């Protein structure tokens, strides 16, 4: 799954995984699992993290391959958040090929930056019960107050406009080149992420039937 932060690719990955009964795999989940379980791969990653260094692509891919080798991945899996750049994609392709596996589709959930800024910067959340609102699309009954528990709503740091724009800038510099990378391989399928969520899902399912 490919798309800018806030494009909705994680939500769609969850839906795909549920429909086809396959795992939704993110590198964040893999890292947390390996660190928590104290695996050899987790210990290797911890050394880099303790130094404040990025975990090398090869080690990240090694963790990923270890995860997709498990029985629940025999029917397939959805990758979300990896690869993040072309060097990672190249390592992934090489290692998957060595294990007689390959990426079948790269689904790009396309949403213009301004839509994402409006979408994310308008979000408000309840610090007490966790309810999510939006100043345009999901307004609380009383402005700035949670309907469920009456607590004042807040804006997460990640949802502030300047933070969203910084994340988008990083995405365009590092991850967006993957669109061209997978297009050249004939694997790219782009869906309009500005449409209703169910319409986006329908479009993705029609692609996966091909």
- 51 has catalytic annotation: no
Please write down the long-range contacts of 180-186, taking CB distance under 8 Å and 24 or more positions apart: 181/86, 181/89, 182/2, 182/89, 182/103, 182/106, 182/108
Angle of helix 40-50 relative to helix 57-68, nearest 10 degrees, comes to 150
- Active-site position among 44, 84, 165, 189: 84
- 32 has catalytic annotation: no
Whole-angstrom Cα distance, residue 28 to residue 16? 19
- 123 has catalytic annotation: yes
Using only C-alpha atoms, the chain has a radius of gyration, in whole angstroms, of 19
- Active-site position among 94, 156, 185, 199: 156
Q: Which residues contact 124 (CB under 8 A, 6 or more apart)?
A: 132, 133, 134, 135, 140, 144, 153, 154, 155
- Active-site position among 44, 128, 165, 167: 167
Q: Which residues contact 81 (CB under 8 A, 6 or more apart)?
A: 1, 10, 26, 27, 28
Catalytic residue list: 9, 84, 123, 156, 167
């Amino acid at each position: 799954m490919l798309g800018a932060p806030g494009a909705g690719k994680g939500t769609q990955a969850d839906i795909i995984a549920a429909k086809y009964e396959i795992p939704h795999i993110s590198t964040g989940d893999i890292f947390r699992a390996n660190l928590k379980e104290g695996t050899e791969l987790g210990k290797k990653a911890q050394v880099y993290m303790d130094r404040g260094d990025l975990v090398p692509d090869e080690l990240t891919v090694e963790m990923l391959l270890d995860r997709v080798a498990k029985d629940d991945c025999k029917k397939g899996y959805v990758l979300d958040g990896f690869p993040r750049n072309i060097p990672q994609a190249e390592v992934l392709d090489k290692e998957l090929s060595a294990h007689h596996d390959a990426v079948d589709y790269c689904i790009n959930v396309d949403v213009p930056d301004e839509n994402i800024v409006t979408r994310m910067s308008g979000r408000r959340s309840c610090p007490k019960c966790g309810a999510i609102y939006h100043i345009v699309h999901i307004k609380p009954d009383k402005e700035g107050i949670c309907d469920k528990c009456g607590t004042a709503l807040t804006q997460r740091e990640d949802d502030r406009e300047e933070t969203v724009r910084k994340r988008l800038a990083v995405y365009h510099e590092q991850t967006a080149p993957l669109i061209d990378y997978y297009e050249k391989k004939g694997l790219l399928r782009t869906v309009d992420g500005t449409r209703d969520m169910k319409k986006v899902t329908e479009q993705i399912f029609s692609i996966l039937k091909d």
